[in-house]
Structures are given as C-alpha cells and as structure tokens.
Chain A
Amino acid sequence: MSQYLLSVHGNRDEDAAETRTMEDFQPIFEAVERFNERLRSEGAWVFAGGLQQIDRATTVDNTGDAPIVTDGPYIESKEYLGGFWVIEAADHDAALAWAVEGSKACQGKVEVRPFQDEPEA
C-alpha cells in the first residue's frame, strides 16, 4: 500500500467572480462528506482537510542566520492549495479512481501525487 496526496486547488480570479452563496455550496459539502465516509469505510482514509483562504498564509524561512517570518504565501500565484486528502491506496490506479470520485464530490480538479517514502508496512 502506498500513500497519495490528492490536492484541490482554488483560483483567486474564480473566487472573485464567485456569485454562489453558502447555501448553494451545501450539496457540495454533503457530497464531500459522503466521499470521506467511503474513504473511511474502505480503509483508505489517512487524513484530509480544507484550508483557510490563501491570504491567511504565513511563510517562514529559517535557511539563513535567523528565521524570517512573512505575511503571505510562498508562491504568489492565482492558484493556491485549497484542501487535500492523504489516502492509502494499493497503487496509482486505485489512487486515480479515488481522485475521480473526489473531483466529482468537491466539484474541482484533483491533483494526485505519490508520497516519496513507502510507509512502514
């Protein structure tokens, strides 16, 4: 079994143009919750979370003499990481199958990336 990161990205321009209300999003929240339940019941769930808006980010750089803390994201970009799942899957195809479901549920594109290290068996 390997672990995969399924990440969902937001877009500032799309956010700015967003006209839907919280109520409009309710079906999406419910679909994501159903997807999470499926991950749990199939033993694929490791961890998942939605992130606060990107302008709540803080960047820390301790590569120099002293740590430097700055307000804002590491990469200034229209796209940003909005939320993610960490899942356990037999192989990449199984991870992609979960991503297909996840993308449908959250109504967003999902990026699939395998973790570097094999988790301990």
Chain B
Amino acid sequence: MSEALDVTAHAAIERIFREEYGRVVASLVRRLGGIDAAEEAAGEALVVALERWPVDGTPPNPGAWLTTTAARKGIDRIRREQRRDAKHQAALMVQDDTPHEPTGVVEDDRLRLVFTCCHPALAPEARVALTLRLLGGLTVAEIAQAFLVPETTMAQRITRAKAKIRDAGIPFRVPAADDLPERVSAVMAVVYLVFNEGYLSGSAETPIRDELTGEAIRLGRLLHGLLPSLPEVTGLLALMLLIEARRPSRLAGGELVPLPEQDRGGWDRALVAEGHALVRECLAIGRPGRYQLLAAVNAVHTDAPTAADTDWGQIARLYDQLYALDPSPLVALNRAVVLAELDGPEVALAEVDRLPARQAALATYHAFHATRADLLRRLGRSADARAAYDAALAATANPAERAYLTRRRDQLSGG
C-alpha cells in the first residue's frame, strides 16, 4: 500500500473512532471500573484498528468492533495488574452493583456518561471540556484550541475533573425523575454553550467555528435520541438546526450579514424543514420552555420568504412568553428589537434605554450597543449612533461582526 493511501486510510479510521468514541467509552466505564481505564482501553482498540482494518477491511459494525476489542484489552490489562498486585484485585474488580432501577427513561450508557460529565459538582468549564472529550471524542488539543486556552491548562482541567469524579464518587447514573429536569438543563446548557461559541466565536481569528456548531448539533441529536419525550431537548435541537440552516448566508466577504439582509436562497432548506418539524413536535406537547420558544422564534423567521413577510406580531408574542419564563435583560433586549419592527425605532429605543439601569452586565455586551446603534441610525441620530457603534466595537473581538459594525459606522453622515 502506498504511503498516501495509508494516510487516507488512517484518517478514515480516526474519523470513525472519533464518531464512536462516546459509545465505546460509555459502555466500558462501568465494566472496567472508571473513566481512565475506559479511555485507555479505547486507545488500545484504536491501535489495533489502525493495524488490522487496512489489511482486513473495515468491519461491518465498527462501533461494536471497537467496543469488543477495547473491552478485551481492558480486561487483559486488569488481569495483568491483578497478577502483579493481588492486593488491588478487589479494587479493580469493582463492578457496578447498583440495582437496576427503572427510571422511566431510556437507559443508555452514553446518557449516564452525559449526566456524569455535566454533574453540578463539577465546574462549568470542566463540564464542557469533559463532554467534548468523552462524548464528542475531541482530543484535548482540539478542545484547548476551541476555548483558546493552552493545551496543558485544558489537560489539567480534564484530569482534575476526572479525578474528582473518581475520588468524590460522582455516580455514573441517569438521575432520578425528581432531579431529571434540572440535571437535563445543565446538560443542555453545556450543549448550547458549545454551539454558541461556534456560532459567534469570541475568537479574533475565526468568526464561525463549524467544528463546534457541528459538534453541538451532534450532541443535541444524541440527547434528543436518548430523551425524545422531553420537549425542551427537542426545542434545543430545533433551535440549533434553524440557526445552523442560515449559516451559508451569515457571512459575505468576511462580514456578518444581519438577518433582514441575508440571501434567503442560501439557507439550508433541509435543515429548515427538519427544524420546523421538531418545533411543531415539541410545541404540541404544550409545555413551552426557553429553548422551544427560541426555536419557535427562529421558525417564524425561517418561514418568511422575504424579510418583509416576517410575522413580527407572532415573534412579539413568543418573546412575551419567553420574558414571562425568563425575565432577563437579554430577553428584554431581543423583545425591544421586535418592538422596532412593530411600533418603530423610537419606541424600541425607549425600551432599550430603560435596560442598563437594571443590569450593568449589559454595558459590556456588544449586542446591547449594536442594537442601540442600529435604532439611533434609523432615527437619524448619527452622532449618538456613532458612539454606540464604537461601544459595540469595543465589546467584540469577532472579525466578521467588527467588519459589519465598522462599515455601518463609517456609512453615517457627518463623520
């Protein structure tokens, strides 16, 4: 086999390995008695795959093959270590002896692992890192790069979190029904955080990070597959799909294109259709939540053939509902943007200007200044608009957003 073919074959195997990583590790954690043992065994299985698959061909069910091989490697290792140190035998043979309790939700090892990774006793940044590592199969280097921290820092964060899971005895278990809604919220927060970092990166180098939005959607699909009866989980997946559908039109010439100006012909119609179906599915359950309502807002936007056709009255009602659930300044800001379409920019500006007194955090939030700038521009208050654009520019590092804000500022008269 030529070297070039070899490289391609290896890349293909590594892609499969990454796809299957969460499944392999999750199914081994309990059998081998810990996350580290499971990860080591999975790594050994990859080595065998890289050796065998190019010769024997890729097995029909690579995930099952990797799990079986990893389990064999893991058990071999335990046996070797037992012989070396009989005293550790008991510890290494630890099995999950918790009785099988019907939890009323689908039992799946990956689901248990998600709840372990997103446990409230772990620091939020550790939850994100662990989820991407163990469920997403991303390497430590990739996660470090995604969150713009040195690889050693990220490695320490992950090692420490795994040590806490082990030493503090954080269970590998789907939470009881009473705790489930809150614990699922923590998992969804992790997934949405990953998505948002991809969708509008805080990085000064890349405006959109496909690998993160793609990963978040993959996790969202997994979660939806595991917990199909929870409407918020469905809503989260719908929300991400409907935002992702617009990605092809969000950038033009390195500049962010705001929704009303986007080329709607560039939107991904398959994702829009899938998102709409999911929105209908979850809203039919009649227990609206934050993600479902945001998904519904995006469904209204993606339903309009042109920006002028947007049903702003419907969007306003959805934001009212959302504000009743989550009276945060961020929701109030978005509601004010809708007001501009219904009642004009003057009413919206009055609403926006009532916000900062309530929440100082908005002062450093670029969308707050960008919204004000846009409303002031529409009202012809050029000098004030300029100051607001400058404040928005000072609050964001995203290059595409900066390009857009700069152009808008420089188009103001009297500058």
**Chain A residues close to B by CB (< 8 Å):** 52-53, 55-56, 58, 69-72
Which single residue of chain A is at the shortest CB-CB distance from B125?
A71
* Contact assessment for A71 and B167 in the assembled complex, using a CB-CB cutoff below 8 Å: no
B123 engages A52 (CB within 8 Å): no
- Find out whether the CB atom of B163 lies under 8 angstroms from the CB atom of A71: no
A56 and B123 within 8 A (CB): no
How many angstroms from the CA of A71 to the CA of B122 in the assembled complex? 5
For the complex of A and B, list the 8 residue pairs with the smallest distance between their C-beta atoms, beginning with the closest: A69-B120, A58-B121, A71-B123, A52-B167, A56-B167, A56-B168, A56-B164, A71-B122
Rounded to whole angstroms, the CA-CA distance of A58 and B163 in the bound complex is: 13
Residues of B within 8 A of A71 (CB): 121-123, 126, 164
Q: How far is the CB of B404 from chain A (nearest CB, A)?
A: 38
Residues in A with CB closer than 8 Å to B120 are 69-70
Q: Report the separation of the CA atoms of residues A70 and B163 in the bound assembly, to the nearest whole angstrom.
A: 16
Q: A76 vs B108: C-alpha distance in the bound complex, in angstroms?
A: 38
Residues of B within 8 A of A52 (CB): 167-168
Number of contact residues on B: which range applies?
10 to 19
In chain B between 160 and 202, which residues have their CB closer than 8 angstroms to a CB of chain A? 160, 163-164, 167-168
A20 to B160 CA separation, bound complex (whole angstroms): 22
A12 to chain B, nearest CB (A): 14
Majority DSSP secondary structure for residues of A touching B: mixed
Prevailing SS type, chain B contact patch? helix
Q: What is the bound-complex CA distance between A70 and B126, given in angstroms? A: 12
Report chain B residues within 8 Å CB of A55.
Answer: 160, 164
Query: How many Å lie between the Cα of A56 and that of B121 in the bound state?
Result: 9
**Bound CA span A70–B120, Å:** 7
List 16 additional contacts besides A52-B168, A56-B164, A58-B168; criterion CB under 8 Å: A53-B167, A55-B160, A55-B164, A56-B163, A56-B167, A56-B168, A58-B121, A69-B120, A69-B121, A70-B120, A71-B121, A71-B122, A71-B123, A71-B126, A71-B164, A72-B123
List B contacts of A58 (CB < 8 A). Answer: 121, 168
Chain B's closest residue to A52 (CB) is B167
Cα separation A53 to B121 with both chains bound (whole Å): 15
A56 cross-chain contacts in B, Cβ below 8 A = 163-164, 167-168
> Closest Cβ of chain B: how far from A52's Cβ, in Å?
5
> Which chain B positions have C-beta within 8 A of A53?
167
**Which residue from chain A places its CB closest to the CB of B122 in the assembled complex?**
A71
B125 to chain A, nearest CB (A): 10
Residues in chain B near residue A72, CB distance under 8 A: 123
Chain B 82-122 interface 0/1 with A at a Cβ cutoff of 8 Å (1 = within): 00000000000000000000000000000000000000111
